[in-house]
Amino acid sequence: MMKLSHFHLPLTLYLAAALVFILKTANAQTTASKTASDLTRIIISAPIPNPKLERDICHAGEQGIICDPHNILVDTANIKADEIDSFESILYGALSDVELKSCESGENPVNVEVGIALVRRMDMTRYLRDPKYEDEDEESIKDIAARQFAIETHDSWGIGHAECHTGIMLFISVDDRAIYISTGAGLKKVLTHSRLGKVMEGMKRYLRQGNYAMAIRNGLVQMRTYIEEGEPTATEKVTVFLEEYGLLLIIVLGFGSFYLVGLRQERRQREEYAMVRSHLTQIERDRAAALQGEYQCSSCAICLEDFTQQNEDGMWTLGSDGLPLKLLQCGHVFDETCWQNWARSGQGDPTKCPICRADVGGIAATAEAGTADLRHRNAPGDLHVPHRRFDENMYRREMGFRLLRLSQRYPRYVRPNMVQRWSQESYNGSLVQDRTFQNGDPSRVKTSNSRSGNGHSFGRSASSGPSFGGGRSSGGRGGRW
């Protein structure tokens, strides 16, 4: 007998261990199945069940305006299950008595309808798989999903008047921290994009605290206030515009001002370049006339402005300042005002001619006296020098002085090295065709820059028919907290 007992004892232990293993395996499978079932209940697809038709699933009260399939209000707001009905009545009363008179469906005003959907988490499978959203990050997809959930649920429930579309759908996804307020077309003018943004800002304080009941109530009260106020006033619109686009406006104005300043500067540079080109062209003409012994001074060499009046003999008598010309003993002529300023400014020796450095002496004349021949004298007997050589040399000094004045007034386009090269007796080329001068053309510089800059630039189906008023969504506004 003893031997038989010893034989059966290990067998009993083996049977007990096997039974424990089977029980643990069954328990694990049950736990896994329960976890999967819980996860399925937590994640919900759009559209959300209609609380008027599926009160038990939505945990809705008598009014049937809230669908809270995950019982979030009971879990977070200290609202007992039997108190949902009274809480829902409070929310229903926040907007149910508000009447809109803008609807053209009939003489009688219509009321605002509201629906509220509160879920734990959205099912975003279809958005994650949709190639259209493959470039979106997870947060952006949550915003897209919240909008779609709210609008689809709004339309599925049929919230609002069927013709006037005076419905509001307030959607909240707790774990996704997403909110969206969908409104019908009849409320667009009073519940504007900016006003909905302010409503959500007021709700976020309670949403962050997990007080979803207070967040919902606060949002509905704020929307009622806006509806009763009517359309935004001009002052409110301006304020909203500045709040939303003020910084952008400042940036745009800054860039616009910079652009206008650039255009203005470019235009001024073009005008200056054209002016310099005109002066250089005139200098070339005068040089050609001097070679022919026909040169007659027609502008002031100091200010480079043209004289304004000639006498019967074709001699210039009045300068650009409207005063009689200042004729020096050497034969060079200036505006009276320019000569006086030159003499007083200390730029040169007032006793010498600015051009040829000849002694001014006490014998200076004006064209008004009628005795001065403003043509540079070219008769061989006057100065006892060959006719052509005298005129050419005399004008070359005047040309050098005029080029120097151009360089002083427009240093951007006429540089000292250019003046030095052009003033040499051996230089016979065109001034305006000089490559250095042409490279300073603003239009050419801009074209070159633009060319060099070219390159490569970097669910579930809806319930059987609507049970609200039959309204539809026309969009809204969403956000995160």
Q: Are 161 and 469 in contact (CB under 8 A)?
A: yes
Maximum mean pLDDT: which of 140-149, 247-256, 449-458: 140-149
User: Both tokens of residue 100?
Assistant: 């809109």
Residue 14 pLDDT > 60 = no
Point out which residues pair with 173 in neighbouring strands.
Answer: 119, 178
Residue 13 has pLDDT above 70, yes or no: no
Please report, for residues 66, 140, 266, 361, 418, the alpha-carbon distance to residue 196 in angstroms, rounded to integers and kept in the order given: 20, 19, 47, 88, 68
How many other CB atoms sit within 10 Å of the CB of residue 169?
Answer: 30
CB burial string 377-408: b at 16+ within 10 A, e below: ebeeeeeeeeeeebbbebbbbbbbbbbbbbbe
Query: What is the band of 61 on the pLDDT scale with cuts at 50, 70, 90?
Result: confident
Instruction: Using the Cα atoms of residue 442, residue 448, residue 452 and residue 456 in order, give the sign of their dihedral.
Output: positive
- Which residues, in sequence order, are CB contacts of 117 under 8 Å at separation 6+? 48, 66, 67, 149, 150, 153, 169, 170, 171, 172
Percent of all residues in the chain with a pLDDT value above 70, rounded to a whole number: 78
Closest CA to 327 of 292, 376, 291: 376
Kindly report, residue by residue over 329-360, the tens digit of the pLDDT.
Answer: 888 899 999 999 988 887 778 888 889 888 88
Tell me what pLDDT residue 418 has. Answer: 93
Task: Identify which of 125, 191, 116 has the alpha carbon closest to the alpha carbon of residue 159.
Answer: 116
Instruction: Give the C-alpha separation, 20 to 9, whole Å.
Output: 17
For residue 431, what are its two tokens? 């001034």
Q: Which amino acid is at 389?
A: R
pLDDT per residue over 182-229, tens digit each? 999 989 999 999 999 999 999 999 999 999 999 999 999 999 999 888
Q: pLDDT per residue over 267-286, tens digit each?
A: 999 999 999 999 999 999 98
Residue range 93-138, pLDDT digits in tens: 777 777 776 565 555 678 888 999 999 999 888 888 888 888 888 8
pTM confidence score: 0.51
Question: In the numeric block, which tokens belong to residue 423?
Answer: 């003033």
